[in-house]
Chain A
Amino acid sequence: MSESKNLLPLFLTVAARVDKRSFDDVTRESVITDLGIDSLSMMQIVGEMETELKIQIPDEDLVEIITVGDLCSKVEHRLV
C-alpha cells in the first residue's frame, strides 16, 4: 500500500528529531526497542507523528506496537 511506503521516512525523521541521531537500515520489520529507542522516546515519537498528521491513536492500540511496521500500520489505519 502506498501509504506504508510514505510513513517510514516520516518515522525516521521524527525518531531522529526525538533521539537526536540518525537511524540506518531501518525497515518496517525493525523492532523499535532494538533501534535503541526506549519506551518513553517511543511515546514521544508516536505523539509527534500524531501531531504532524493530525490523528490520534487510541491508548489501547499503543501497547500493541512492537515494530516500526506496527506503528506505521496504526497510523495508516487512522489516515484512512
Chain B
Amino acid sequence: MATPTTRLEERVYRIYMEFFEKAERERRWSVFDDIPWDKVNRDAPEDLALCAETFASVEMYLPDYVAAGINIVRPWFGRSWWQANWGYEESKHSLALGEYLVRSGKRTQDQMFALHETLFAKKWEAPFDTARQMTLYGVVQEQATFVIYCKHREFARRAGDECLHAIYDYIARDEIAHTRFYQAVTEALLEEDRPGTLADLALVFANFKMPGVDLVPDYDERILKMREEGGVDRDLFIRKVYLPVLKFLNIGRHEMLAAQRVALEARQRRDAMGA
C-alpha cells in the first residue's frame, strides 16, 4: 500500500531542494581538480596519517550507512533523494582521504585494500529504529563530525600539510551543510510533534556514540590519538554539540529535562541488564 505524502514530507522535500540547489551552485568540489595534491607534506608525522586513516575507516562504512538510511525513508521522495545525495557527498570523503594516504606515501594501495577488507568484515547497524530518531541522530552525528574535522584541519595546518588541510576543509563544509539540513527537518518535526520529538532527541543524546565504535580496528587507541592531536577534550561534546544543537533548534535546556531523565533512566536500566 502506498504511503501518503503528508504535509511534513512535502516540507522535507522543499528543504531538500533548497539544500540541493545550494550544494549544486556553491559547494560542489572535485577529488581530482580541487585538492592541492602537490602540497602533500610527505614528511608530516605518522600521527597525522593515523588520524586521516581513522577518518577514512569510519567513512568506509558508507554502504551500511546508505543502506540503513535509505531503507528507513524509502516511502518518501525528499528523504530518499537526500539519502542518495548524502551518499554521493560522503563517498568523496573516503576517496579523498584514501588518495591522500597513498599519495603522501604513508600507506600503500595494497595496505588500503587490506584495510578495506578488515573494515568490511564488520557491518554497521543503524543505532535507532525510526526515521525521526535517525534524523535526530543525523543532527548530532554531523555536528560532532564537523567539529572534529575542524579540529583536525588545524592539526594538518600545524603539521604543514596544506593538502590534508584542504581535504578536511572541504569535508567540514559538507558536514556542516548536512547538519543544517537535518536541523531544518528537525524544526519541521518539532512543529508537528514537539513532545515526541524532544523525547526522541533525549533518547539520541543519551545513547549517542560515533559510528566507528566497535567497528574500526584499534578504535580506542586511535581515538586517544585523535583527541590528543585534535585538541578534543572531554567537554567538547557539551560545548560544541549539545548546547549548539539545542540553541539552533530553539530548545531550552530545561525543556529537555523531563525527556532526558526518562532517556537516562532507560539507559541505566539497559546498562544494568547488560552488566
Contact = CB atoms under 8 A, between A and B. Distances in A.
B237 A39 contact: yes
B235 A63 contact: yes
B260 A40 contact: yes
27 contacts: A18-B261, A18-B264, A20-B265, A39-B235, A39-B238, A39-B242, A40-B205, A40-B242, A40-B260, A40-B264, A43-B238, A43-B242, A43-B253, A43-B260, A44-B260, A44-B264, A47-B253, A47-B256, A47-B257, A47-B260, A51-B254, A51-B257, A59-B243, A59-B253, A63-B235, A63-B243, A66-B235
Contacts of B256: 43, 47
Nearest to B208: A40
A44 B243 contact: no
A29 B140 CA distance: 32
Interface of A: 18-20, 33, 39-44, 46-48, 50-51, 56, 59, 62-63, 66
Among A39, A40, A46, max chain B CB count under 10 A is at A40
A50 B206 CA distance: 20
Interface residues of B, number: 19
The 9 A-B pairs of least Cβ separation, nearest first, read A63-B239, A47-B257, A39-B238, A59-B243, A20-B268, A44-B260, A39-B237, A47-B253, A40-B205
Given A39-B237, A40-B205, 17 more contacts: A18-B261, A20-B265, A33-B234, A39-B235, A39-B242, A40-B238, A41-B264, A43-B242, A43-B253, A44-B260, A44-B264, A47-B260, A48-B257, A59-B243, A59-B247, A62-B243, A66-B235
A20 B257 CA distance: 16
Contacts of B264: 18, 40-41, 44
A40 B247 CA distance: 16
Contacts of A46: 253
B255 to A, nearest CB: 10
A40 B235 CA distance: 10
